[in-house]
């Protein structure tokens, strides 16, 4: 019998007072609520600002007017039902619209809303597209959370992908080790499947999502250990979120613990300006400074992650900040001519997103014209 129960109605949470429930019900009606009883037990209910609480329990300020439903313009990336292809070597298969719990700051909350229909249980059209597109060497299974699918279904998808010679890496984006580690611990069929398809020549990568050190419980660490023993490579990615992990000490503790268990931080994300996300947003400068302060407290292995913004035009890394300027660079670009492009913007401590920034225009700083390389100090086209 399953050891973890999913909770989909706010009224099931006994720790919420009647008045809190009445206040938050309209928020949960607008942006879906879901949690697991395992995850809810990690909340310190005596602390109204508990970070785990902020991750899954609705906040009244989500009702404030803010952002876009699809802040990264993902709708423009579809090449087949349930299949996005934005960067040459990587395709996404959106194979499930449910997660173990719903992060309040999710950038894909449109999937969980009435009318959300971007995921596809039938992955055949996406797999056919990948099969006939040889430059795709990486496939990311995402959603929702692919580990919410049955083990048999996951096996079917992995076996089809492994029959495509040009697909090397299969990535699975999942927060299940944090929301419900028993999905790994209690399911030998899942671990056996991962073990079968993560081979010496072609690994499976589990892109896990731990945002605060409290999520790295003994059970979560056991699940991670089991995954690694299957031959799966595990790496972490998380947004930096106001009131959750924006304190450099918290962030440093998270990075340190992840490095100890062998799960290197891979990406930290600028929280996307998605509808309902206003209470969770930090400005770009705040995000950058929190991460830089945290980096001072940890070893090299714990701070290899890049800070990126998943913008419609590409993955933009924030690489530097001065009193006057902000320095950004395309880590991945939709348009190949932007690949690696370095950009300088006027410092704006209120800016949340690339579109908020004003580029420094020509002429470039003399250091750029006298050196060997010329930097084009301009913004995205």
Task: Report the residue number, 55 or 130, with the smaller CB distance to ligand SF4.
Answer: 55
- Cβ within 8 Å of residue 284, ≥6 positions away: 270, 309, 318, 326, 348, 351, 352, 353, 357
Tokens (6 digits) for 338: 């932007």
Which residues, in sequence order, are bridge partners of residue 321? 326
List 83, 95, 106, 141, residue binding ligand SF4 (CB under 6 A):
106
Q: Of 99, 148, 161, 226, which lies in the binding site for ligand SF4, with binding defined by CB under 6 A?
A: 99
Residue window 135-154: x/- pattern of binding to ligand SF4, with contact defined by CB under 6 A: ----------x---------
Q: Which is nearer to ligand SF4, 105 or 345 (CB)?
A: 105
Q: How far is the CB of 171 from ligand SF4 (least distance, A)?
A: 14
Window 178-237: residues binding ligand SF4 (CB under 6 A): 209
Q: What is the distance between the alpha carbons of residues 233 and 362, in angstroms, rounded to a whole number?
A: 44
Per-position DSSP letters for 266-321, written without gaps between them: EEEEEPP-BTT-GGG---HHHHHHHHHHHHTTS-GGGG--EEEEEETTEEEEEEEE
Listed ranges 70-78, 99-107, 225-233, 369-377: which one lies at the site for ligand SF4 (CB under 6 A): 99-107
Q: How far apart are CA 172 and CA 84, in angstroms?
A: 15
Q: Does 108 bind ligand SF4 (CB under 6 A)?
A: yes
DSSP letter, residue 212: S
Query: Based on CB atoms, which residue is closest to ligand SF4, 93 or 298?
Result: 93
| Closest of 331, 329, 355, 333 to residue 344, by C-alpha | 329
Select from 175, 242, 257, 303 the one that contacts ligand SF4 (CB under 6 A): 175
Q: Which stretch binds ligand SF4 (CB under 6 A): 102-110, 221-229, 260-268, 358-366?
A: 102-110
Query: Which residues is 359 bridged to in the sheet?
Result: 345
Q: Considering the complex, what minimum distance in angstroms separates the CB of residue 292 from ligand SF4?
A: 24
Write the CB contacts of 106 (distance below 8 Å, at least 6 apart in sequence). 99, 112, 274
By C-beta, is 85 or 109 nearer to ligand SF4? 109
Please state the closest distance from residue 98 (CB atom) to ligand SF4, in A.
8
Number of residues that bind ligand SF4 (CB under 6 A): 8
Shortest separation between residue 132's beta carbon and ligand SF4, angstroms: 28
List the x/- string, 297-326, binding to ligand SF4 by CB under 6 A.
------------------------------
Helix (H, G, I), strand (E, B) or coil at 229: helix
In whole angstroms, the minimum distance from the beta carbon of 295 to ligand SF4 comes to: 23
**Is the preceding omega at residue 144 within 30 degrees of 0, hence cis?**
yes
Q: How far is the CB of 139 from ligand SF4 (least distance, A)?
A: 17
Residue 59 or residue 108: which is nearer to ligand SF4 going by CB?
108
Q: How far is the CB of 224 from ligand SF4 (least distance, A)?
A: 16
Cβ atoms 281, 273 nearer than 8 A? yes
C-alpha–C-alpha distance, residues 209 and 174, integer Å: 7
The two tokens of residue 207 are 């892109």
Give the HSE-up count for residue 177: Cα atoms under 13 Å, Cβ half-sphere: 30
Under the rule (CB under 6 A), what is the footprint of ligand SF4?
99, 102-103, 106, 108, 145, 175, 209
């Amino acid at each position: 019998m399953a050891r973890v129960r999913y909770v989909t109605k706010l009224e099931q949470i006994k720790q919420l007072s009647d008045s809190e429930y009445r206040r938050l019900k309209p928020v949960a009606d607008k942006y879906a609520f879901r949690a697991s009883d395992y995850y809810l037990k990690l909340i310190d209910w005596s602390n109204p600002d508990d970070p785990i609480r902020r991750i899954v329990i609705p906040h009244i300020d989500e009702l404030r007017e803010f952002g876009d439903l699809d802040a990264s313009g993902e709708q423009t990336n579809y090449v087949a039902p349930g299949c996005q292809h934005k960067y040459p070597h990587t395709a996404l298969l959106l194979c499930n619209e449910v997660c173990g719990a719903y992060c309040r700051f999710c950038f894909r909350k449109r999937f969980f809303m009435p009318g959300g229909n971007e995921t596809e249980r039938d992955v055949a059209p996406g797999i056919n597209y990948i099969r006939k597109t040889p430059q795709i060497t990486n496939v990311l299974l995402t959603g929702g959370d692919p580990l919410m699918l049955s083990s048999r279904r996951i096996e079917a998808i992995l076996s089809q992908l492994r029959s495509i010679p040009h697909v090397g890496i299969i990535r699975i984006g999942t927060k299940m080790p944090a929301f419900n580690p028993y999905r790994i611990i209690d399911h030998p069929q899942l671990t056996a499947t991962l073990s079968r398809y993560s081979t010496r020549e072609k690994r499976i990568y589990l892109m896990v999502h731990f945002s605060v050190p409290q999520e790295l419980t003994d059970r979560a660490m056991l699940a991670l250990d089991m995954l690694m023993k299957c031959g799966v490579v595990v790496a972490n990615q998380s947004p930096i979120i106001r009131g959750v992990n924006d304190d450099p000490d918290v962030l440093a503790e998270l990075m340190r613990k992840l490095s100890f268990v062998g799960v290197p931080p891979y990406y930290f994300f600028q929280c996307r300006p998605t509808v309902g996300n206003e209470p969770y947003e930090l400005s770009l400068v705040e995000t950058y400074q929190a991460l830089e302060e945290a980096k001072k407290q940890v070893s090299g292995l714990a701070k290899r992650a890049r800070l990126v913004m998943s913008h419609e035009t590409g993955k933009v890394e924030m690489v530097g900040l001065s009193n006057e300027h902000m320095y950004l660079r395309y880590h991945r670009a939709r348009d190949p001519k932007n690949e690696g492009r370095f950009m300088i913007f006027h410092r704006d401590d209120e800016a949340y997103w690339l579109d908020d920034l004003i580029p420094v225009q020509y002429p470039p700083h003399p250091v750029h014209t006298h050196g060997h390389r010329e930097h084009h100090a301009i913004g995205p086209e």
